[in-house]
């Protein structure tokens, strides 16, 4: 079996360190900097990669373009250093919302960056909670898709909340919410909203019984917080008690401060696929709790290295 080597870009070094700690080996020696202090990414591996099984850990969170470019250059450098296999470990895969041609003359950027990964020399991709599951079909190389819901379900079970229900923030998350509700053995409600533009949504109906229940809302990412806050307001208006949110990727744009600050949400539980930024730290209202998925990624990496099943981790 070839030697496993782990390397990290600059986007979420603490998460990469946590993965390495759980695997039981240090991160490899790499320099990911800028050429002559300019904007050009420069990468240099400080150790031999010939014949190695290489894992490059890099979330493509903001600044997304810089982080994507770092990852692509890291892949190219590893390929040219004769690595046997290169796995791009991308905890958060940005551009995933640009997954279809819904208007004339627009790109399908989620497919474009999938092509770029393969062209740069990646042999495999490991990621978590893509915005749409069909994005897996954009890849011409193997992709392992982890989910945060098992970890969230375990966390909510530990709270021992007697009257819990699961609700979707919109109809697009029904499949994941069904899985969440099934794992917890609790009822499911659906918040039906309509989108009238990139930043304008309106809740139309709440389908299902939430009166008297504590409600948890799962979703893959939080950006402006408008969808989550509107769903929480609608659920509270239909009699829900405490409202929790379980969000995989805490992107947090500036407008989230205002949107979430006035939302009736008790707690937002997020993972560490993205480091919490200053916006998240400025949110006044709901408590923000970080649940680490580094142990899950470390186990997936070990299974890929050992050529064993990764899908078992979803159970």
Q: Is the pLDDT of residue 77 over 90?
A: yes
Report how far apart, in Å, the C-alpha atoms of 150 and of each of 7, 111, 166, 177, 246 are. Answer: 27, 27, 14, 12, 11
Q: Do domains 4-147+294-314 and 149-291 have the same CATH topology?
A: yes
Indicate the pLDDT class of residue 155, thresholds 50, 70 and 90: very high
Question: Would you give the DSSP letter of residue 251?
Answer: -
| pLDDT in the model for residue 215 | 97
197 Cβ contact partners less than 8 Å away, ≥ 6 residues apart: none
Rounded Cα distance, 23 and 72, in Å = 24
CB atoms under 10 Å from CB of 165, counted, come to 23
Indicate the pLDDT class of residue 313, thresholds 50, 70 and 90: confident
Tokens describing residue 56: 């490059």
Rounded Cα distance, 240 and 210, in Å = 5
196-200, 219-223, 245-249, 292-296: which range is least confident on average? 196-200
Task: Indicate which residue of 193, 262, 284, 315 is catalytic.
Answer: 193
Q: What is the CATH number of domain 4-147+294-314?
A: 3.40.50.2020
User: What does the domain layout of the chain look like in residue ranges?
Assistant: 4-147+294-314, 149-291
pTM for this entry = 0.93
| pLDDT in the model for residue 201 | 59
Question: Would you give the DSSP letter of residue 173?
Answer: G
pLDDT, tens digit (0-9, with 9 covering 90-100), for 217-258: 999 999 999 889 989 999 999 999 999 999 999 999 999 999
| pLDDT in the model for residue 54 | 98
Indicate the pLDDT class of residue 169, thresholds 50, 70 and 90: confident
Rounded Cα distance, 170 and 60, in Å = 25
Report how far apart, in Å, the C-alpha atoms of 230 and of each of 164, 201, 246, 303 are. Answer: 20, 8, 15, 40
Above pLDDT 90, what percent of the chain? 82
pLDDT, tens digit (0-9, with 9 covering 90-100), for 16-49: 999 999 999 999 999 999 988 778 999 999 999 9
Rounded Cα distance, 205 and 16, in Å = 42
Question: Would you give the DSSP letter of residue 2?
Answer: P
Task: Note the CATH architecture for domain 149-291.
Answer: 3-Layer(aba) Sandwich (3.40)
For residue 289, report the phi and psi dihedrals to the nearest 5 degrees: -115, 135
- Concerning whether 202 is annotated as a catalytic residue, the answer is no
Mean pLDDT taken over the chain: 93
């Amino acid at each position: 079996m070839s030697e496993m080597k782990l390397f990290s870009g600059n986007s979420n070094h603490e998460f990469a360190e946590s993965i390495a700690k759980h695997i039981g080996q240090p991160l490899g020696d790499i320099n990911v900097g800028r050429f002559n202090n300019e904007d050009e990414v420069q990468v240099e591996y400080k150790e031999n990669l010939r014949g190695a099984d290489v894992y490059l850990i890099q979330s493509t969170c903001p600044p997304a373009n810089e982080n994507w470019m770092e990852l692509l250059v890291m892949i190219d450098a590893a390929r040219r250093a004769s690595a046997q296999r290169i796995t791009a470990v991308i905890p958060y895969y940005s551009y995933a919302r640009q997954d279809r041609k819904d208007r004339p003359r627009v790109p399908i950027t989620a497919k474009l960056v999938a092509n770029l990964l393969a062209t740069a020399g990646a042999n495999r991709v490991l990621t978590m909670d893509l915005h749409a599951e069909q994005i897996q079909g954009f890849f011409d190389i193997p992709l392992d898709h982890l989910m945060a819901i098992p970890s969230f379900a375990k966390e909510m079970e530990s709270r021992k909340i007697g009257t819990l229900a699961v609700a979707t923030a919109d109809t697009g998350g029904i499949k994941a919410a069904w899985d969440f509700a099934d794992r917890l053995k609790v009822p499911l409600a659906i918040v039906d909203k309509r989108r009238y533009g990139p930043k304008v949504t309106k809740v139309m109906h709440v389908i299902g019984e939430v009166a008297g229940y504590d409600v948890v809302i799962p979703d893959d990412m939080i950006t402006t917080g408008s969808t989550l806050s509107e769903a929480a307001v609608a659920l509270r208006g239909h009699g829900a008690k405490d409202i929790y949110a379980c969000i995989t990727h805490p992107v947090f744009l500036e407008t989230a401060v205002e949107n979430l600050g006035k939302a009736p949400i008790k707690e937002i539980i997020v993972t560490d696929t993205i480091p919490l930024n200053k916006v998240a730290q400025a949110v006044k209202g709901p408590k923000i709790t970080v649940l680490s998925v580094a142990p899950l990624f470390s186990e997936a990496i070990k299974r890929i290295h050992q050529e064993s099943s990764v899908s078992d981790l979803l159970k």
